[in-house]
């Protein structure tokens, strides 16, 4: 009976934790055909350059081990919680790890200023809470600033990838902020992107060239009409057959 109560209490505890903790940046859970819950590595968003894909993989992996590398009774924690137990020095070390291993790496993806400030705010909340003994450490472990920052980066890069795969005429986001195709090397092929697929600029260019050809054709037809056919506003002159008939008469 005691075992059943403990099991039920642990499941309830895990359920409440999931409501407050961000998703694991490296793994996702799924249910197989036999109804068993398993986990697998998350797939990267489509449309990313090789540079962005590499950066996102690195950030997700680091955030996972800093926040969710270990599990006890359904409570997942990482090196951030373990280091944070050390008074004073642990909090300073965590602040450095959170910035240098995650935020500074994310900056290489050319993220906008507002996103960088949001990541730094998450780090500030984590560091501030860590100053409170015991309760603060538990809050830091549940808050998981690195996983939150990894989720922010992944969502931003997902939008960037989607915008890059679209035609220019179908894009909704400001390209100066999202920077579709950022980090793409010359000649690099991004899966899902059809090179030379057109878009607003190419359509405009082709329309302009077609209009130019049409105008040239109209001028040629007009010249041919002026040289071979009757001119507009003038009576048609006698033909050669009419002249021959007049001579016979």
pLDDT in tens, the chain (249 residues): 556 545 555 555 455 445 556 888 999 988 999 899 898 999 999 999 999 999 999 999 999 999 988 888 777 889 998 998 888 888 899 999 999 999 999 999 999 999 999 999 999 999 999 888 888 888 888 899 999 999 999 999 999 999 999 876 688 788 888 888 898 888 888 877 765 544 433 444 444 445 555 555 554 555 544 544 444 444 445 555 555 545 444
Give the pLDDT of residue 151.
Answer: 94
Is 158 inside any structural domain? yes
Residue 177 forms beta bridges with which residues? none
CB 83 within 8 A of CB 93: yes
- How far apart CA 150 and CA 25 sit, in angstroms, is 6
Cα angle vertex 175, ends 55, 155, to 5°? 40
Is 15 inside any structural domain? no
Domains identified in the chain, total number:
1
Q: Could you list the beta-strand ranges (E) of the chain.
A: 27-31, 37-41, 70-72, 75-77
Half-sphere exposure of 188 (CA within 13 A, CB side): 13
Is 159 inside any structural domain? yes
Is 194 inside any structural domain? no
Is 189 inside any structural domain? no
- Which residue bears the tokens 């100066």? 176
Per DSSP, the chain holds a count of helices (H) and strands (E) of: 11, 4
Give the pLDDT of residue 150.
Answer: 95
Is 207 inside any structural domain? no
Domain that holds residue 69: 20-29+37-178
Dig out the tokens for 101 from the structure: 């291993």
- How far apart CA 152 and CA 158 sit, in angstroms, is 10
pTM listed for this prediction: 0.68
C-alpha distances (whole Å) from 185 to each of 41, 45, 135, 191, 194 are 26, 18, 48, 14, 16
SS3 34: coil
Is 119 inside any structural domain? yes
Give the pLDDT of residue 227.
Answer: 47
Give the pLDDT of residue 98.
Answer: 94
Dig out the tokens for 93 from the structure: 């070390």
Give the pLDDT of residue 90.
Answer: 86
- How far apart CA 136 and CA 145 sit, in angstroms, is 13
Give the pLDDT of residue 16.
Answer: 46
Is 14 inside any structural domain? no
Q: What is residue 169's DSSP assignment?
A: G
């Amino acid at each position: 009976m005691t075992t059943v109560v403990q099991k039920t209490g642990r499941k309830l505890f895990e359920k409440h934790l999931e409501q407050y903790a961000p998703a694991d940046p490296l793994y996702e859970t799924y249910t197989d055909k036999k109804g068993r819950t398993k986990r697998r590595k998350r797939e990267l968003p489509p449309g990313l350059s090789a540079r962005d894909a590499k950066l996102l993989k690195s950030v997700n992996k680091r955030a996972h081990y800093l926040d969710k590398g270990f599990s006890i009774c359904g409570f997942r924690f990482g090196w951030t919680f373990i280091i944070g137990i050390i008074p004073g020095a642990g909090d300073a070390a965590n602040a450095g790890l959170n910035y240098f291993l995650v935020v500074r790496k994310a900056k290489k993806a050319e993220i906008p200023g507002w996103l960088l400030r949001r990541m730094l705010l998450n780090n500030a909340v984590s560091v501030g809470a860590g100053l409170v003994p015991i309760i603060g450490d538990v809050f830091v472990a549940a808050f998981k600033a690195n996983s939150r920052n990894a989720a922010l980066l992944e969502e931003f890069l997902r939008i960037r990838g989607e915008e890059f795969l679209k035609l220019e005429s179908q894009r909704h986001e400001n390209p100066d902020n999202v920077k579709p195709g950022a980090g793409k090397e010359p000649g690099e092929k991004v899966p899902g992107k059809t090179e030379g697929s057109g878009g607003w600029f190419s359509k405009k260019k082709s329309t302009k060239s077609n209009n130019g050809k049409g105008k040239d054709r109209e001028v040629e037809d007009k010249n041919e009409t002026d040289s071979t056919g009757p001119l507009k506003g003038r009576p048609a002159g006698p033909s050669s057959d009419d002249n021959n008939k007049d001579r016979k008469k």
